Amino acid sequence: MRLGIQLGYSGEGFAAAVDEVVEFEEAGAELVVVPEAYSFDAVSQLGFLAARTRRMGLASGVMQTYTRTPTLTAMTAAGLDYVSGGRFSLGLGASGPQVIEGFHGVRYDAPIGRTREIVEICRRAWRREALIFSGEHYRIPLPGDYGKPLKLINRPVRERIPILLAAMGPRNVALAAEIADGWQALFLDPGAAERVFGEALSDGRARRDPALGPLDVSVPVPFALSEPTPALLARHRAQLALYLGGMGARGRNFSNDLVRRYGYPREAEAIQDLYLTGRKAEAAARVPDDLVAATSLVGDRDGVRRKLGDLTAAGVTTVLVSPLAETRAERVKDVAGLRRLIDSL
């Protein structure tokens, strides 16, 4: 199992956060993942991290498929791979209509079809093929007198940059298992993983090109080598309430749909009702304790070791931790301790 660090997207104290990432690298972290919601872009931060780190991989977690042309996505990934010396992985995700249509002013349509085509265009671009693509959603070059097939001027460090797809719904998960190097699963309950995702993963893997190799399954989790007290888990509980209640509209909230499939339909409905009427604290209080525990990695060493075993049994190959300890020294110590626990599995 790989050990990664999941950065937040608040944008507060970035320089200090990067200093901490450097210490996490020395403590044994192998990867750092930068999100891109509707705050700062991920690319500028990843470039900064490329200059400050030496060995650890870098990944977007995730860049949004609608906000860049497929070719710009390929160019950006090749550029980040270049400045990092071949350490970048392209994390992509469709986000949701609330962000894509509400913040970017782009129609949210055909997320699965568009993702499939973007992945193919990126891989062709990295191979420095003269780019000719005629799909249902993208056509390169456009018809007319002026467009001509072009290829990247520079030769990429790697012609195959790993692609990670964020997915929750069955069709998106199947797509990740079919065409991507990795799948990033948000709020994964390892006890429910086979029941909720097993069929989709099997369907996708049945169509997977063996040349892609095994599917990397990564999971972001809040983490601490400490007693899982309500105070320590309060931030994670609030984040669950935000995603289940506020990250999407009624009837179009992918996190809410996922938790319903886990077996919490009444709770998911109540959380969304409370959150959308401004009662955020009450919404957080309604998040089931079992869900908070299942989607976090918090406990003493024996407890965390058991949780790592559960994640491994669920097929997880990369754990992306957000350390929760109060001080920087404690967070670095916890990451070093987790490194030793993973190595002992």
**Which region among 33-37, 188-192, 280-284 has the lowest average model confidence (pLDDT)?**
33-37
Q: What is the reported pLDDT for 13?
A: 86
Angle at 157 between CA 167 and CA 91, to 5 degrees: 10
Q: What band does 251 get if pLDDT is binned at 50, 70 and 90?
A: confident
Mean pLDDT of 196-203: 98
Are the C-beta atoms of 213 and 339 separated by less than 8 Å? Answer: no
Over 90: is that where the pLDDT of 209 sits?
yes
Alpha-carbon distance of 310 to 162, in angstroms, equals 26
Mean pLDDT of 201-229: 98
> Which 3 state secondary structure label does DSSP give 284?
helix
Alpha helical stretches, state H, the chain: 14-27, 42-52, 70-83, 97-102, 111-126, 170-179, 193-206, 230-241, 254-262, 265-276, 280-285, 289-294, 301-313, 328-344
The encoded tokens of residue 6 equal 């999941």
The percent of residues above 90 in pLDDT, for the chain, comes to 95
Alpha-carbon distance of 241 to 245, in angstroms, equals 6
Q: What band does 10 get if pLDDT is binned at 50, 70 and 90?
A: low
Single out the residue of 162, 131, 132, 155 nearest to residue 59, CA to CA.
Answer: 162
Tokens 């949210």 -> residue: 108
Name the DSSP letter for residue 154: S
The encoded tokens of residue 51 equal 């200059």
Are the C-beta atoms of 84 and 58 separated by less than 8 Å? Answer: yes
Q: What band does 264 get if pLDDT is binned at 50, 70 and 90?
A: very high
| Cis before 141 (ω within 30) | yes
**2-224+298-344 maps to which CATH number?**
3.20.20.30
Alpha-carbon distance of 173 to 184, in angstroms, equals 9
Q: What band does 8 get if pLDDT is binned at 50, 70 and 90?
A: confident
* R_g (Cα) of the chain, nearest Å: 20
Over 90: is that where the pLDDT of 92 sits?
yes
Specify which residues 32 forms β-bridges with: 5, 58
Cβ atoms < 10 Å from Cβ of 166:
29
Over 70: is that where the pLDDT of 11 sits?
no
Sign of the alpha-carbon torsion through 215, 188, 262, 226: positive
**Which region among 149-153, 245-249, 303-307, 318-322 has the lowest average model confidence (pLDDT)?**
245-249
